[in-house]
């Protein structure tokens, strides 16, 4: 009997603790409600049961592409934040997290009416002027050439934006066919530039470059440099590379008969007539040839590679890729791999390396200098760029030939 009374006493105590916890939660909700300026004591949200999966999209050319498919199994009336009126029910925010760390809020392109029982498709905005953080949620599958999604697990959340409160469970879709990653940084010269996590990358404008738009078929925003303009992007981890690298950039020079820096992260100084280089990477046009230079992070030796032939034409849009993979560089112009030679020098075309045994691996050296676009960071030899620069991106991996060809055909970087 004594044991029974103890158990009963324990149960009463447990119930009291539960009631106290419920009371505390209720008080917190009431205080929160008043703090938010609402008249109701408790916030009411909406019920949604959803499920994520993968849908394969057949393209007119190229392999099929996978997109995320979100099916609303059951739901009380709701609409997505950003949906045009009239939109029934409670407002809900759709949040998508990619395998490579991006947090995305897809723009809704949906007809009005109940979303219950409908399958919605989530995929990149694939126009050439859109960034890799620009996604769409639509009730219709995309048509035309589609940007591939990053392979891995995609997480979809439906959120009540007023509290905020997660309404549904984390719906997960696994993309098994796509790209391994998007660039660490990319965007449009003089426009929005984003890190992979979709946070903006700040920069300063020097001089008076002019923004333009190509029109069809490229539909690309660009910045026109007149020979004394440049951009400076503050030192940032997404701009520093010590391993594999791809510099991907669209450019339209007004002349190819000079030395011009396209973009680079480094500094050149002159002390008592002695030129000192501190370069992570630098990409130039030298009389129509593509030139890439770096400092070895172990020996501090300054090297460059330069195409053997004129590769870039004036007054035309050229898509240039400098790829470093496993210590070996490759240069592509308009999707075509170019032959090049190695040099141990900071003077273009001098001290050519002819012995295969002396050809160095590209071991990029870190520095804390800004990235400049349109001129070299040097007071004596700025090598200003003349012409237009459009979309650009920096990857911490080597783009494949197929990815480069796809970018070229679709005016992407």
Position 14 scores a pLDDT of 35
Position 270 scores a pLDDT of 85
The mean pLDDT value for 189-201 works out to 89
CB 318 within 8 A of CB 335: no
Residue 92 lies in a domain: yes
The mean pLDDT value for 190-209 works out to 92
Residue 256 lies in a domain: yes
Domain that holds residue 91: 48-175
Could you tell me if 190 and 90 lie in one domain? no
* CA dist., res. 244 & res. 342, Å (int): 18
The mean pLDDT value for 343-363 works out to 95
Could you tell me if 155 and 227 lie in one domain? no
Grouping H, G, I as helix, E, B as strand and the rest as coil, residue 235 is coil
3-state per-residue secondary structure call for 150-216: ECEEEEEEEEECCCCEECCCCEEEEECCCECCCCCEEEECCCCEEECCCCECCEEEECCCEEEECCC
pLDDT band at residue 128 under the 50/70/90 scheme = low
Instruction: Tell the burial category of 87 from Cβ atoms under 10 Å away from its Cβ (0-12, 13-18, 19+).
Output: buried
Residue 38 lies in a domain: no
Could you tell me if 152 and 230 lie in one domain? no
The last residue of a domain, from among 155, 175, 195: 175
Position 15 scores a pLDDT of 34
Q: Which tens digit of pLDDT belongs to each residue from 31-53?
A: 443 344 433 334 578 999 999 99
Res 291 pLDDT > 90:
yes
Residue 23 lies in a domain: no
Could you tell me if 248 and 138 lie in one domain? no
**Residue 251: CATH number of its domain:** 2.60.120.200
The mean pLDDT value for 67-89 works out to 93
Position 169 scores a pLDDT of 81
Question: Has this prediction a pTM greater than 0.85?
Answer: no
Q: Of all helices (H) and strands (E), which one includes residue 319?
A: strand 318-325
* CA dist., res. 380 & res. 349, Å (int): 20
Q: Which tens digit of pLDDT belongs to each residue from 86-106?
A: 888 999 999 999 998 889 999
The mean pLDDT value for 293-299 works out to 97
Could you tell me if 403 and 359 lie in one domain? yes
pLDDT band at residue 62 under the 50/70/90 scheme = confident
Contacts 24+ apart (CB under 8 A), 354-361: 360/296, 360/301, 360/303, 361/327, 361/328
The mean pLDDT value for 322-347 works out to 97
Res 177 pLDDT > 80:
yes
Position 208 scores a pLDDT of 96
pLDDT band at residue 24 under the 50/70/90 scheme = very low
Q: Which of 33-42, 315-324, 342-351: highest mean pLDDT?
A: 315-324
Residue 112 or 272, more confident:
112
Could you tell me if 99 and 118 lie in one domain? yes
The mean pLDDT value for 53-81 works out to 92
The last residue of a domain, from among 175, 201, 233: 175
Could you tell me if 96 and 235 lie in one domain? no
Instruction: Tell the burial category of 314 from Cβ atoms under 10 Å away from its Cβ (0-12, 13-18, 19+).
Output: middle
| Least confidently predicted of 59-68, 263-272, 375-384 | 59-68
Res 310 pLDDT > 80:
yes
Tokens 């001129």 sit at which residue?
Answer: 375
Closest of 221, 396, 252 to residue 325, by C-alpha:
396
What is the chain's mean pLDDT, rounded? 88
Q: Which tens digit of pLDDT belongs to each residue from 51-60?
A: 999 999 998 7
pLDDT-above-70 percentage for the chain: 89
Give the chain's domain count. 2
* CA dist., res. 153 & res. 350, Å (int): 49
Question: DSSP of 241-294, one letter per residue?
Answer: -SS-EEEEEEEEES--SSEEEEEEEEEEEEETTEEEEEEEEEEEEETTEEEEEE
């Amino acid at each position: 009997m004594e044991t029974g009374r103890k158990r009963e006493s324990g149960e009463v105590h447990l119930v009291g603790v539960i009631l106290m916890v419920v009371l505390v939660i209720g008080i917190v909700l009431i205080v929160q409600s008043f703090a938010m300026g609402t008249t109701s004591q408790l916030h009411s949200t909406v019920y949604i049961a959803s499920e994520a999966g993968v849908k394969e999209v057949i393209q007119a050319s190229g392999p099929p592409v996978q997109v995320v498919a979100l099916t609303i199994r059951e739901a009380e009336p709701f609409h997505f934040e950003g949906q045009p009126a009239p939109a029934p029910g409670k407002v809900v925010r759709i949040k998508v997290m990619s395998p490579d760390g991006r947090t995305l809020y897809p723009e809704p392109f949906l007809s009005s009416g109940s979303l219950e029982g409908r399958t919605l498709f989530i995929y990149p905005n694939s126009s050439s002027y859109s960034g890799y953080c620009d996604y769409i949620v639509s009730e219709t599958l995309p048509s035309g050439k589609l940007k591939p999604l990053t392979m891995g697990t995609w997480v979809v959340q439906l959120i009540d934006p007023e509290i905020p409160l997660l309404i549904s469970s984390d719906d997960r879709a696994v993309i098994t066919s796509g790209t391994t990653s998007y660039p660490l940084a990319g965007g449009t010269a003089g426009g929005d530039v984003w890190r992979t996590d979709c946070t903006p990358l700040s920069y300063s404008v020097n001089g008076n470059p002019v923004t333009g738009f190509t029109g069809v078929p490229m539909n690309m925003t660009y910045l026109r440099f007149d020979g004394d303009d440049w951009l400076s992007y503050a030192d940032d981890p997404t701009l520093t590379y010590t391993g594999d690298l791809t510099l991907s950039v669209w450019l339209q020079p007004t002349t190819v008969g000079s030395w011009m820096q396209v973009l680079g992260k480094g500094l050149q100084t002159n002390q008592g007539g002695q030129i000192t280089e501190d370069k992570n990477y630098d990409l130039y046009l030298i009389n129509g040839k593509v030139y890439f230079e770096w400092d070895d992070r172990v020996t501090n030796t300054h090297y460059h590679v330069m195409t053997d032939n004129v590769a870039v034409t004036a007054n035309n849009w050229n898509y240039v890729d400098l790829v470093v993979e496993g210590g070996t560089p490759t240069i592509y112009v308009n999707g075509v791999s170019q032959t090049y030679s190695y040099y141990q020098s900071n003077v273009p075309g001098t001290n050519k390396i002819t012995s295969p045994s002396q050809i160095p691996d590209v071991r990029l050296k870190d520095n804390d200098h800004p990235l400049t676009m349109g001129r070299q960071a040097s007071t004596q030899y700025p090598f200003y760029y003349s012409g237009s620069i459009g979309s650009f991106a920096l990857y911490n991996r080597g783009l494949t030939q197929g990815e480069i060809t796809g970018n070229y055909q679709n005016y992407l970087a």
